Every structure is written in C-alpha cells, then in structure tokens.
Amino acid sequence: MTQTGLERSTLIKLNTSNIRNNKLILDNRELVLPPVLEKTINELIIENKQRNIRNGYLFNTKYNKQYKVITEGTINSIFDVLRKINKEFSVLSPSFIRTNLIKRLFYNGYSIEEIVYLTGTDLVSLSKIISYEEILEQIKAKNKKGNKNHPFKEFLYERGGH
C-alpha cells in the first residue's frame, strides 16, 4: 500500500471489507487501487481463503499453528531483514517511504488537500515533512497546470498489474 503511504497501524487493520469495487475504503476516503495493487490484494485474499484464514484481515502471520493479524513489530522486522539482505535498503523504513511519497506527490503537483486525502496525514504531520518555504517555492514554480504524475505511475499504472 505504498501508493497511499498508509501508516503501519492502518495497514495491520486492513481487512477484506476495506476492498470494494477496485477501491480501498478507509473511513471517509475511497482510493482507487492501481492494477498492480488490485491484482496483488486479490491474490492475497485468495491465498488467505486457501489457508482457511477466517479473521478477515489481509495481512496475517502464523504463530503456534494459528493465524493472527500482523503487528507493527512484524512490519519493522521485515524492514530489518531487508536491510540485512541488501545494504542499499539501509535507509528504508515505513516512515522513510511515507515521507518520500508525500514529498514526491507535492513536487509532482498534488495539492496539500490531495496529499491529505491520499495519505490520511494530518496537517500538523504534513507541515513537518513539507516546509512553508517549499510550499512558497512550489507556488512560484507552478506555471504548468494539470501536469501531475503519481511518483510510482510507471510501476503501478503502466504495467497494468502484469
């Protein structure tokens, strides 16, 4: 769910009822799932059914022969393993991904309102990522209207989920 920059706490709570008509429904937000994520989530749902996981959560772990929803610690452990496998991932973390997604959305022409809607980030947190000076510079440079591209467009949309 890197496209939306979901926080770990939101990610672990995702369940099949959050997925409807190729959209991710989170409280009052409806986010269209790009083909790659839609395909992957559908495969995950099928795999969960095949494993007879009935708790409804998308992301589970098996412990003592029982499936339970993953924890934030599990997500952190995954990133720890990635860092050990490949030194290029040494800075990789959920917060690093989220911060960079927000910055890239901003510099690709997304408005503050759109960034809040897509990521669910409140304005106080957003102001720690995008400075007032950056906003002023972006407004000065904004001569090209309607020229927005999602930073992960090539991977998420143009591959068509294949």
**Integer Cα distance of 88 and 82 in angstroms:** 9
In the structure encoding, which two tokens stand for residue 56, read together?
């409804």
**Cα distance from N-terminal residue to C-terminal residue, the chain:** 17
Q: In angstroms, what is the C-alpha Rg of the chain? A: 17
- Write out the DSSP string of 58-80: SSEEEETTEEEE--HHHHHHHHH
Q: How confident is the prediction along the chain (162 residues), in pLDDT tens digits per residue? A: 445 678 888 889 999 999 998 999 998 899 999 999 999 999 999 999 999 999 999 999 998 989 999 999 999 898 888 888 888 888 888 888 889 999 999 999 899 999 999 998 999 999 999 999 999 888 777 755 556 677 777 777 776 555
* Whole-number Å distance between alpha carbons of 82 and 108: 28
Q: What is the pLDDT of residue 2?
A: 46
| Spatial contact of 99 and 131, defined as CB atoms under 8 Å apart | no
What global pTM score does this model have?
A: 0.72
80 Cα distance to chain centroid: 18
Q: Please work out, in degrees rounded to the nearest 5, the angle formed at the alpha carbon of residue 31 by the alpha carbons of 53 and 134.
A: 125
Report yes or no: 61 and 67 within 8 Å, Cβ to Cβ: yes
Q: Report pLDDT for 160.
A: 59
